[in-house]
Copies of this chain bind each other. A is one copy, B any other.
Amino acid sequence: MNAKKPLAPRDNGAPDYKNYLHPAMERNYGRWKYHRGIRPGVFVHVSDSGESLYTVRAGSPRMLSAPLLRRVCDIADKFCQGRLRFTSRNNIEFQVEKEEDIQPLIDEIGRVLRFPVGGTGRSFHNIIHTQGWLHCNLPGTDAAGVVKSLMDLFYEEFTHENFPQRVKVSTSCCTINCGGQTDIAVNLQHHHPPAIDHVTINRCELPKVISICPVLAIRPDRTGGRDTVEVVEEKCMYCGACHAQCPALEIRDGDTDTLSIWVGGKSASTRGGPSFMRLATWGLPNNPPRWPEVGDAVRRILKAYQAGANEYERVGEWIGRIGWKNFFAETGFEFTKYHIDSYRWARTTFNTSAHVRL
């Protein structure tokens, strides 16, 4: 590296958010009393002091060029006293104190940014996602492209609030799963053990890569006069941990990798508490640029959920009530032996009762 001015640690820490709060937020910090939805994408918070703060939520693709972000800033200057915020799902929130500013603000967002307003309450929320082929070194699929394709499909669902409860979706581009644990997720699925590049494999990495395998499938080996490793194929369960450690163990395969859909994850401690996502269907083709099969599968789930769930039931709670048998029947997905867990806690996922729906 040939940096001209080596940096001494400056340890600035986190920005001082106090400088960035909308004035109404600053004045009413900790004094909010209640909120109310006004229309999809717009809600108001009312404070103890009687003040109101209207929030307009605009769907963003997360990736922003500087010119685009500058246009966002201009809107904040024009309507929001130069303040704005992002949500934990990459949306942009513009905030105004007067109800009459809402429509002009929305118009401006549409005109200048072409961002939709929505993604609140019982809508199809913005999809959180990861890097994909755009920047990561590990992906088997893209992220931004899958998301764009899905959000196009479910645009109406984003701008309206027609579900029984919020629907949160995420995608990830390798089995590390930087993406979220959500109502529905689109993740990558490998179909075979890693291929080993005995030439590029790095001697010094061997102990590390051997020790990272959770099922002890990797063993030291000698091939062509070099130290390398071998993978015991019967043991390997295609988790990709080795690939994340060492690129010479290539787990990806453009021809055989597929996408899987997972359902019923939830972080909120509401009602029954957090829950894991569970495999809904696997083997969907990794089909850029539009991944139509993924869109179809997600739609099937959404339709069944919309038709069958009670108010306030998240996807996983709905399935919990109707049972997986009915979930598979209503979505038309096939239940296969691969849906049955075979990893460490497999037994704890079995139906250990005589409860059956016949």
Contacts and interface: CB of A to CB of B under 8 A. Distances in A.
Interface of A: 269, 273-274, 344-345, 347-348, 352-355
5 contacts: A269-B354, A273-B352, A273-B353, A273-B354, A273-B355
B353 A269 contact: yes
Contacts of A274: 352-353
Q: Label chain A's interface by main secondary structure.
A: loop
Contacts of A353: 269, 273-274
Contact of A345 (B348, B352, B355): B348
A273 B352 CA distance: 8
A126 B353 CA distance: 24
Nearest to A276: B352
A355 B354 CA distance: 29
A355 B268 CA distance: 10
A8 to B, nearest CB: 41
Contacts of A347: 345
A269 B352 CA distance: 9
Contacts of A354: 269, 273
Contacts of A348: 345, 348
Nearest to A272: B353
Nearest to A351: B273
Nearest to A347: B345
Contacts of A352: 273-274
Contacts of A273: 352-355
A358 to B, nearest CB: 14
Nearest to A274: B353
A344 B348 CA distance: 11
Given A269-B355, A348-B348, 5 more contacts: A269-B354, A273-B354, A274-B352, A344-B344, A345-B348
Contacts of A344: 344
Contacts of A355: 269, 273
A355 B275 CA distance: 13
A354 B268 CA distance: 9
A274 B354 CA distance: 9
A330 to B, nearest CB: 23
A47 B98 CA distance: 76
Nearest to A348: B348
Nearest to A349: B348
A201 B119 CA distance: 71
